[in-house]
Amino acid sequence: MGLKINVGTVALLLLLALYAANAQSGVFDITKYGGKSNGDITQAVTKAWQGACQTAGKSKVVIPKGTYRMGAVQFNGPCKGRIEFQIQGTVQAPGDRSYFKSGSWVNFQRINGFTLSGGGTFDGKGSSVWGKRSCSGIKYCGDLPISLRFDFISNGLIQGITSLDSKQFHINLLGCKNVTFQHVNIIAPRTSPNTDGIHIGRSSGIRIIDTKIATGDDCVSIGDGSRDILVQRVTCGPGHGISVGSLGKYSNEEPVVGVKVVDCTLTNTQNGVRIKTWPNSYSGTASNIHFENLLMKNVDRPIYVNQAYCPWNQCKAQSPSKVKISDVTFKNIKGTANTREAVTLVCSKAVPCQKVLLSDIDIQYHGKDGRPTFQCTNIKPMLSGKQNPSPCTVK
């Protein structure tokens, strides 16, 4: 009996095969470029990125499960289509700082339509350099590399990844627009120096949601030029808290406008929520900043405005800050303080804080040093609802 061939069926199968081939061609697995578990994948991942970036439509770079070594890399755009970088395994940075020339380990830049995902881990191997050089004195260890740097990324999503033991900042954003971080884990010891979790600079439309940060410096730090920032359902601790600033140290800093920190929990942190500016500063502004629905657990300074921020005596503290802080709310903030300094509002004599509202504050202190304090300097805050500790006497 002869075999009857349905021309329509054959055409459909050929079309499906062609579609599958095209779909597969958009996946750039590092193993196809010589990447092997327990080996160095610097060259393999660079070639995979170059192929993906030159692909029209959607493409994906894949680092499969396993443990890999990777040197300093830059993943440059612009690319011809949307691109996803999927890390399923663990990549480890070199331990020796001499491998880093550009100030970062992994740098994504100038990409529109970018996703970083996969559930994998970027291991910065920070313990190899912590303590080898003082970062707590006048010398600032700025030559240590940032683990993940995002420069001029638009319409991005970073989700389901882990940053472990960064040498300096875990994540740094500069010039980014419309980028969301969600379900990101950031991990480093309390003693790790200058390991900010996520630092935002001159970026807008940034969302940090459902993220866990445990590190040795600010969990989230929001620098000049930041606009339309949302930090929501973030757990922070250990660390130095969630901070706007520091501001005013450099000339031509851009305003900070529109920050919301809501529904967050801070545990065993040095500060809770903080705004910090340098004395003897350049002029600047920070406005439309809202801290709401926050839980503090054994936090040293749960609510802290510090316009005399001067670590390591780097400045002339007697000269007041010229950064104007206005339109700020602290609302529904509850929990426990680890020191008496439950609420500390130290504003500038040159430009006192304006339109600062505290509403429904209930911070307990159960130590032996006395009652919790509510300090005000160069500010007349607006008050509503419950106030514990008792409101300040204006100085």
Residues acting as catalytic residues:
240
SS3 assignment, position 238: coil
Asked if the peptide bond before residue 78 counts as cis, ω within 30 degrees of 0, the response is: yes
Q: CB 95: neighbour CB atoms within 10 A? A: 13
Q: How far apart are CA 214 and CA 227, in angstroms?
A: 25
The structure tokens 């600010």 sit at: 218
Residue 326 in tokens: 């206005």
Q: CB 138: neighbour CB atoms within 10 A? A: 9
**Distance spanning both ends of the chain, measured CA to CA:** 103
Nearest to 164 by CA among 180, 147, 139, 150: 147
- Integer CA distances (angstroms), 379 to 160, 257, 261, 353, in order: 42, 20, 22, 5
Residue 368 in tokens: 């032996």
